[in-house]
């Protein structure tokens, strides 16, 4: 009889995130090779795990064509050298792909069907721009199910500014500047590098090694941000400076039950407490993490004041600010994205969820006084996702 088991985030890694496009460092790298690199890096870091004990591999991608198609979880498992007995599949929940990979594998472990699983995501937005090759049903517009710009993420972010006038462009720019500064400081302190898997890259000048994110702009200033174009509407507020860019990258995480952690000598970086996904109006999808967080907190029997650390995906600064305002959290609260976020690092859609988890796990190690943290993100077509985690280093860990 299956029973409810504790689920642990054992470890997580990622490739450096590149800029999408011909000038980006991964332009000549296949998407599946990026995720295979993340998976082999993850396995090398956890040598005590017999690979035949992995019950499943879930890998997310938003645009599942070409080198991001062909049931990525299975093909990546084979390419990463896992035994042929290990199955795999692919997932698409747009930006929350890797977050969904983790939550679905965790649910399978919690149910008792699996002991150990790999979950991750990849997005090569240079090879597969968002929306390429898709054919939205004409009923969406003909029957006014969504507005025309519901599929344009920047336009949905402008609508959050419209709805909440207190979320000014200046606040968005200031938050974006903070993200750049925090990422630069985290790199300088050696915080980000510890979970990066280097990737061999090929360019016109020959072979090289990608060892750090390509997108951060530490030289960013408020004056520079103020002068950027607003591509989504005239006199708008969303710019390339206060939003995440287009990026290539992959992530992979190892999840295991409490029993498997003991038996196989694995680490306990975080314990899953609860997760929730919700839908909101597609036109203002950025508010999705508000109801998903409320639902995840309700499921966990916690309140927002119990959360000591937040890793929020910075798809757009305004989207994070709408979350902070709702919950009464200051724009520069030190609990929020202590090492910066996607505005500086980048957001290769389906891979980002595990990046948030990697960083939260590292914060937990450094801050044993914090018991609970959460990872949350907005999701295209009007959704939000939130996962709440418990810190195993906290003195009350494991107690009711």
**Residue where the block lists tokens 């030190």:** 334
**Contacts (Cβ under 8 Å, ≥6 apart) of 220:** 176, 177, 180, 181, 241
> By C-alpha distance, which of 138, 147, 232, 221 is closest to 184?
221
Active site residue 124: no
- Per residue in 30-47, pLDDT (tens digit) is 999 999 999 999 999 999
- Per residue in 5-30, pLDDT (tens digit) is 899 999 999 999 999 999 999 999 99
CB atoms closer than 10 angstroms to residue 291: 18
- Per residue in 43-84, pLDDT (tens digit) is 999 999 999 999 999 999 999 999 999 999 999 999 999 999
Work out the end-to-end distance of the chain between its first and last CA atoms, rounded to an integer number of angstroms: 25
Q: Per-residue pLDDT for 253 more than 50?
A: yes
Phi and psi at residue 181, to the nearest 5°: -70, -40
Q: 1 falls in which pLDDT band (50, 70, 90)?
A: very low
Angle at 119 between CA 261 and CA 203, to 5 degrees: 125
Q: Cα 400 to chain center, whole Å?
A: 29
CB atoms closer than 10 angstroms to residue 194: 9
Active site residue 95: yes
CB atoms closer than 10 angstroms to residue 189: 10
CB 241 within 8 A of CB 345: no
Distance of alpha carbon 291 from alpha carbon 295, whole angstroms: 6
Domain definitions of the chain by residue range: 7-127+245-390
Q: Per-residue pLDDT for 3 more than 90?
A: no
- Long-range contacts formed by 365-370: CB under 8 A, 24+ apart: 365/269, 365/393, 367/308, 367/309, 367/391, 368/393, 368/394, 368/395, 369/308, 369/394, 370/308, 370/309, 370/394
Give the per-residue pLDDT at 2. Answer: 52
CB 281 within 8 A of CB 195: no
Residues 126-145, mean pLDDT to the nearest whole number = 90
Choose, from 128, 347, 393, 394, the residue flagged as catalytic. Answer: 347
Active site residue 3: no
Q: 167 falls in which pLDDT band (50, 70, 90)?
A: very high
- Per residue in 281-296, pLDDT (tens digit) is 999 999 999 999 999 9
Choose, from 124, 161, 363, 378, the residue flagged as catalytic. Answer: 378
| C-alpha to C-alpha distances, 200 to 18, 22, 179, 276, 354, nearest whole angstrom | 13, 17, 28, 37, 22
Fold of 7-127+245-390: Peroxisomal Thiolase; Chain A, domain 1 (3.40.47)
199 exposed, middle or buried (CB, 10 Å; 0-12, 13-18, 19+)? buried
User: How many percent of the chain have pLDDT more than 90?
Assistant: 92
Helices (H), the chain: 31-45, 72-79, 97-111, 139-142, 153-163, 169-188, 222-226, 258-264, 289-300, 317-327, 342-345, 352-366
| C-alpha to C-alpha distances, 88 to 59, 111, 113, 229, 249, nearest whole angstrom | 8, 18, 15, 43, 20
For residue 141, what are its two tokens?
């517009």
Choose, from 95, 124, 128, 363, the residue flagged as catalytic. Answer: 95
CB 292 within 8 A of CB 385: yes
Q: 151 falls in which pLDDT band (50, 70, 90)?
A: confident
Distance of alpha carbon 297 from alpha carbon 278, whole angstroms: 13
Residues 165-189, mean pLDDT to the nearest whole number = 98
């Amino acid at each position: 009889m299956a029973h409810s088991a504790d689920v642990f985030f054992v470890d997580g890694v990622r490739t450096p995130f590149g800029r999408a496009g011909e000038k980006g460092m991964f332009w000549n790298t296949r998407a599946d090779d990026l995720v295979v690199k993340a998976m082999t890096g993850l396995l090398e870091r956890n040598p005590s795990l017999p690979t035949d004990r992995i019950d499943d591999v879930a890998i997310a991608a938003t645009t599942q064509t070409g080198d991001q198609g062909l049931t990525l979880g299975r093909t990546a498992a084979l390419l990463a050298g896992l035994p042929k007995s290990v199955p795999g599949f692919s997932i698409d929940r747009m930006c929350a792909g890797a977050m969904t990979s983790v939550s679905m594998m965790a649910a399978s472990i919690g149910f008792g069907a699996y002991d150990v699983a790999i979950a991750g995501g990849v997005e090569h937005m240079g090879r597969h721009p968002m929306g390429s090759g898709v054919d939205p049903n004409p009923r969406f517009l003909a029957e006014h199910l969504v507005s025309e710009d519901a599929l344009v993420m920047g336009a949905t972010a402008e609508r959050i500014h419209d709805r909440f006038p207190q979320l000014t462009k200046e606040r968005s720019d200031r938050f974006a500047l903070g993200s750049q500064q925090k990422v630069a400081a985290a790199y300088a302190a050696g915080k980000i590098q510890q979970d990066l898997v280097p990737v061999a890259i090929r360019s016109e000048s020959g072979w090289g090694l990608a060892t750090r994110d390509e997108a951060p702009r530490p030289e960013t200033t408020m004056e520079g941000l103020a002068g950027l174009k607003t591509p989504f509407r005239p006199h708008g507020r969303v710019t390339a400076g206060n939003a995440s860019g287009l990026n290539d990258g992959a992530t992979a995480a190892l999840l295991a039950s409490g029993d498997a952690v003991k038996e196989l000598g694995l680490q306990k970086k975080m314990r899953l407490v609860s997760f929730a996904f919700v839908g909101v109006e597609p036109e203002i999808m950025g508010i999705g993490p508000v109801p998903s967080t409320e639902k995840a907190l309700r499921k966990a029997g916690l309140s927002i004041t119990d959360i000591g650390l937040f890793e929020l995906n910075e798809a757009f600064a305004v989207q994070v600010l709408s979350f902070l305002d709702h919950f009464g959290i200051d724009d520069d609260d030190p609990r929020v994205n202590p090492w910066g976020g996607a505005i500086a690092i980048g957001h290769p859609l389906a891979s980002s969820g595990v990046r948030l988890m990697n960083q939260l796990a590292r914060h937990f190690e450094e801050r044993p006084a914090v018991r609970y943290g959460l990872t949350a993100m907005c999701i295209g077509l009007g959704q939000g996702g939130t996962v709440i985690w418990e810190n195993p280093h906290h003195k009350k860990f494991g107690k009711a």
